[in-house]
Chain A
Amino acid sequence: MIVAELKPLEEIASSIKGYRNILVLGCGTCVTVCLTGGEREARVLSQELSHPRFGPDRPDSFEVNTIERQCERDILKAFLNVPDNCDAILSLACGAGVQTLAGVYRKLPVIPGLNTTFLGALDEPGIWREQCRGCGDCMLAYTGGICPVARCAKQLFNGPCGGSQGGKCEVSPTVDCAWALILARLNFLNRLDLYEKIIPPKDWSSDKDGGPRVFRSGNPPDIA
Chain B
Amino acid sequence: MSYFKVNDKCNGCLACVRNCPAQALRYVDRGSIRTIEHNIISCARCGNCWRVCPEGAIEFEYLLRGGWDEVVSTPLVTCSVCGKPLCTEDFRNTLTKQLNQEIDPLCAIHQGVRSSRAWLRAVQTGKSLEEASE
Residues of A within 8 A of B (CB): 28, 67-68, 72, 74-75, 78-79, 221-223
Query: Residue B60 at the A interface, CB < 8 A?
Result: yes
Q: How far is the CA of A79 from the CA of B13 in the complex (A)?
A: 25
Residue pair B13, A223 in contact (C-beta under 8 Å): yes
Secondary structure dominating the interface of B: helix
Q: How far is the CA of A222 from the CA of B61 in the complex (A)?
A: 23
Residues of A within 8 A of B118 (CB): none
Residue pair A223, B64 in contact (C-beta under 8 Å): no
Which stretch from B4-12, B28-36, B46-54, B105-113 is at the chain A interface? B46-54
Given A79-B60, A79-B64 in contact, is the A222-B18 Cβ separation under 8 Å?
A: yes
16 CB contacts below 8 A, A to B, read A28-B64, A68-B45, A68-B64, A75-B64, A78-B60, A79-B60, A79-B61, A79-B64, A221-B48, A221-B51, A222-B18, A222-B19, A222-B52, A223-B13, A223-B19, A223-B52
Q: How far is the CA of A67 from the CA of B66 in the complex (A)?
A: 12
- How far, in Å, is A39 (CB) from chain B's closest CB? 11
Residues of B within 8 A of A (CB): 13, 15, 18-19, 45, 47-48, 51-52, 54, 60-61, 64
Residue pair A223, B54 in contact (C-beta under 8 Å): yes
Residues of B within 8 A of A79 (CB): 60-61, 64
Residue pair B47, A221 in contact (C-beta under 8 Å): no
Given A72-B47, A74-B51, A75-B47 in contact, is the A223-B15 Cβ separation under 8 Å?
A: yes
Further pairs besides A75-B64, A79-B64, A223-B54: 16, Cβ < 8 Å: A28-B64, A67-B64, A68-B45, A68-B64, A74-B47, A74-B51, A75-B47, A78-B60, A79-B61, A221-B19, A221-B52, A222-B15, A222-B52, A223-B13, A223-B18, A223-B52
Secondary structure dominating the interface of A: loop
In the complex, what residue of chain B is closest to A78 when comparing beta carbons? B60
Q: How far is the CA of A222 from the CA of B52 in the complex (A)?
A: 8
Q: How far is the CA of A42 from the CA of B18 in the complex (A)?
A: 36
Residues of A within 8 A of B52 (CB): 221-223
In the complex, what residue of chain B is closest to A29 when comparing beta carbons? B45
- How far, in Å, is A70 (CB) from chain B's closest CB? 12
Residues of B within 8 A of A68 (CB): 45, 64
Q: How far is the CA of A117 from the CA of B60 in the complex (A)?
A: 31
Residues of A within 8 A of B47 (CB): 72, 74-75
Residues of B within 8 A of A28 (CB): 64
In the complex, what residue of chain A is closest to B13 when comparing beta carbons? A223
Residues of A within 8 A of B18 (CB): 222-223
Q: How far is the CA of A185 from the CA of B90 in the complex (A)?
A: 47
Residues of A within 8 A of B48 (CB): 221
Residues of A within 8 A of B64 (CB): 28, 67-68, 75, 79
Residues of A within 8 A of B19 (CB): 221-223
- How far, in Å, is B62 (CB) from chain A's closest CB? 11
- How far, in Å, is A210 (CB) from chain B's closest CB? 27
In the complex, what residue of chain A is closest to B53 when comparing beta carbons? A223
- How far, in Å, is A217 (CB) from chain B's closest CB? 9
Residues of A within 8 A of B61 (CB): 79
- How far, in Å, is A100 (CB) from chain B's closest CB? 14
- How far, in Å, is B99 (CB) from chain A's closest CB? 27
